[in-house]
Amino acid sequence: MKLLTTNFLTCAVKTCKTSPLSFPLHFKDATLERTEIDYNPLFIRNVLPRVNWDALTTTATELGLQSLVPARNPGTRTETETETDIKDEELRKLHNLLLETGVVEGKLVCGNCGFEYPIKEGVGNFLLPAHLV
């Protein structure tokens, strides 16, 4: 499961939807895997404006990868900045973090209800047991 994916996931438990603690989900016992993917700066640029930066920083820090996250989202420019202000080095780090870093085994834990979503062979299971639906 790519790190980018976790930036768009919240807990599926109904009562967690309104809780700020349910996002982002927190990795537990995560085994990381690096997969090399062709660097596509345009794709990264297009995805950055949709990334929740605080959540990404939290996730990366929990995995010990905070050095790959710039303090500010290079995808959200102010009007005085231009395209060229986006540093290629930052984009490459984010490519590495968001697309090439994946979690093969572990759990994603909700900070509100504590439910643990298992990740097996790189696939997260986000189905809830019947009593929580």
Residues of this chain that interact with Zn ion (CB under 5 A) are 11, 13, 16, 22, 110, 112-113, 115
> Of 43 and 126, which has the nearer Cβ to Zn ion?
126
> For 42, what's the count of Cα atoms within 13 Å in the CB-facing half-sphere?
0
> Of 17 and 50, which has the nearer Cβ to Zn ion?
17
SS (H, E, C) 58-122: HHHHHCCCHHHCCCCCCCCCCCCCCHHHCCHHHHHHHHHHHHHEEEEEEEEECCCCCCEEEEECC
> Of 23 and 73, which has the nearer Cβ to Zn ion?
23
Element (H, E) at 38: none
Rounded CA gap, 77 and 101, in Å?
25
CB of 111 to Zn ion, least distance (A): 8
> Of 25 and 99, which has the nearer Cβ to Zn ion?
25
CB of 28 to Zn ion, least distance (A): 14
CB of 24 to Zn ion, least distance (A): 12
CB of 129 to Zn ion, least distance (A): 13
